[in-house]
Amino acid sequence: MKNSRRDFLQKLAVSAATIPFLPYDAFANAELRPVPSAQGPTLRVALMGLGYYASLVADAIQSCKRVKITGLISGTPAKLADWGSKYSVPEASRYNYENFDRIKDNPDIDAVYVITPNALHHDQVIRVANAGKHAICEKPMALNAAEGQEMIDACANAGVKLLVGYRMHFEPKTVEVVRMRAAGEFGAIKFFQGQCGFRIGDPTQWRLDKDLAGGGAMMDIGIYAINGSRYMIGEEPVWVTAQETKTDQVKFKEGVDETILFQLGFPSGAVASCLSTYNMNYLDRFFLVGEKGFAEMQPSTGYGPIKGRTNKGELTQPHVTHQTLQMDAMAGIIFNDDTPPVPVDGQEALKDLKIIDAIYRACATGTKQELNLG
């Protein structure tokens, strides 16, 4: 059944620009805050892949000021009917994976949010771009950097924007820590620690299928530590080392990582030590230390509320549903060319993919991998 499901999903993925990137050193001269949901055009979004996370996004959009669900894409007719009724999406704006290219002729859809298994992102985003619609893609953006670059190129050639679902880039406590670091309140940054993991359940789920997930815990939860190390330290890493541990060869088959420890080095001399795992609970913590202060967040990347403190005291910014903030901000990025507190474009995602590629190489070879993220 597992193989048939995989084959079915892969058949659905048959093949048919980016926003300007704000470099980290520009943060020192930028006001860091979530992009305001100023009045403007409503972003009309089609959701692709109507699973659990899409349900969270859909619910969050109901509280958005600038976003509305106007399309649905799924391979399950019952979901299209149920979601269509719940969110008032007419039948003419409901599609399956074989015919969604027809969104090209639907003026009520501005963008498509791709929330499908990782292996499907590449072809689906390219098809969205070819249909002339902006693409929002869940992370990781692709299975590897080569695929990610092709997605970036396709969106650029089509004249549409490619955004990635980095919801933490708009989370108020996270944004405040980034602001404090950029303002020099922690002094020169020395060390970051990111711990991301949980014990995964159902062994037949797509996240444990290499053909659909592209890996294991690293692709799902480890990417938070990778991305977090970059925006917390405020630099791009120049090398990575990594070590893989696997205790369950049945659940975690070849090419599906269970636990990876990895270390990143940065130009200033700052270092990061991170853990990505599918075999331990209670791991959702970021810790940043500089010469003059520190920041600790735990939980650091969960759906919320995020909790944190610095050497100056507890972080007290109010919790707002992450996906609501993300989607309203993305409306501003698409329509107004707003600059987000931390980039969420395809180039940002490509850098994470390059690091993931290097981590897997480091695990396979046991050698330090040099990074050139540009």
Residue 204 · residue 265 · CB < 8 Å = no
- CA-nearest of 208, 316, 222, 339 to 272 is 222
Instruction: Say which residues have a Cβ less than 8 Å from residue 17's Cβ, sequence separation at least 6.
Output: 152, 155, 156, 157, 158, 159, 160, 161, 162, 346
How many C-beta atoms surround the C-beta of residue 6 within 10 A?
17
Give the separation between CA 150 and CA 154, rounded to whole angstroms. 6
Q: What percent of the chain has pLDDT over 90?
A: 89
Average pLDDT over residues 135-164: 98
Give the separation between CA 60 and CA 191, rounded to whole angstroms. 34
β-strand 162-164 against 189-197: which pairing, if any? Answer: unpaired
pLDDT tens-digit map of 227-284: 999 999 999 999 999 999 999 999 999 999 999 999 999 999 999 999 999 999 999 9
Residue 141 · residue 121 · CB < 8 Å = yes
Residue 40: which pLDDT band, with cuts at 50, 70 and 90? Answer: confident
| Topology (CATH level 3) of domain 2-167 | Rossmann fold (3.40.50)
Angle at 215 between CA 213 and CA 217, to 5 degrees: 100
Q: What is the pTM of this model?
A: 0.91
pLDDT beyond 90 at 3:
no
Average pLDDT over residues 207-226: 98
β-strand 271-277 against 189-197: which pairing, if any? Answer: parallel
How many C-beta atoms surround the C-beta of residue 39 within 10 A?
8
pLDDT score for 132: 98
Average pLDDT over residues 6-35: 40
pLDDT score for 374: 77
Residue 97 · residue 13 · CB < 8 Å = yes
Query: Is-catalytic flag, 224?
Result: yes
Indicate the helix (H) or strand (E) that contains 189: strand 189-197
Tell me where in the chain the CATH 3.30.360.10 domain(s) lie.
171-317+346-370
Handedness of CA 185, 190, 194, 195 (dihedral sign): negative
Class of domain 171-317+346-370: alpha beta
Which spans in the chain are helix H? Answer: 2-12, 52-61, 77-86, 118-130, 145-158, 172-182, 210-213, 217, 223-233, 322-336, 346-365
pLDDT beyond 90 at 316:
yes
- CA-nearest of 35, 292, 319, 265 to 180 is 292
Query: Is-catalytic flag, 139?
Result: yes
For residue 128, give the 3-state DSSP assignment.
Answer: helix
**What are the helix and strand counts (H, E) for the chain?**
11, 15
pLDDT beyond 60 at 36:
no
Give the pair of three-digit tokens for residue 181. 């670091």
For residue 201, with 0-12 CB atoms within 10 Å meaning exposed, 13-18 middle and 19 or more buried, which class applies?
exposed
Average pLDDT, the chain: 92
Tell me where in the chain the CATH 3.40.50.720 domain(s) lie.
2-167
pLDDT beyond 50 at 361:
yes
Calculate the CA 127 to chain-centre distance: 20
Average pLDDT over residues 97-121: 98
What is the DSSP annotation of 1-62?
-HHHHHHHHHHHT----PPPP--GGGGGGS--SPPP--S-PPEEEEEES-SHHHHHHHHHHT
Residue 217 · residue 258 · CB < 8 Å = yes
Taking only Cα atoms into account, the Rg of the chain, rounded to an integer number of angstroms, comes to: 20
Residue 31: which pLDDT band, with cuts at 50, 70 and 90? Answer: very low
Which of the residues 139, 161, 173, 251 is marked catalytic? Answer: 139
pLDDT score for 24: 41
Which of the residues 24, 224, 231, 360 is marked catalytic? Answer: 224
pLDDT beyond 60 at 4:
no
Residue 153: which pLDDT band, with cuts at 50, 70 and 90? Answer: very high
pLDDT beyond 70 at 158:
yes
pLDDT score for 21: 35
Angle at 241 between CA 238 and CA 244, to 5 degrees: 150
pLDDT tens-digit map of 256-272: 999 999 999 999 999 99
Give the separation between CA 296 and CA 247, rounded to whole angstroms. 30
Give the CA distances from residue 159 to residues 80, 128, 152, in Å, rounded to whole numbers and listed in that order.
29, 12, 11
pLDDT tens-digit map of 363-372: 999 999 999 9
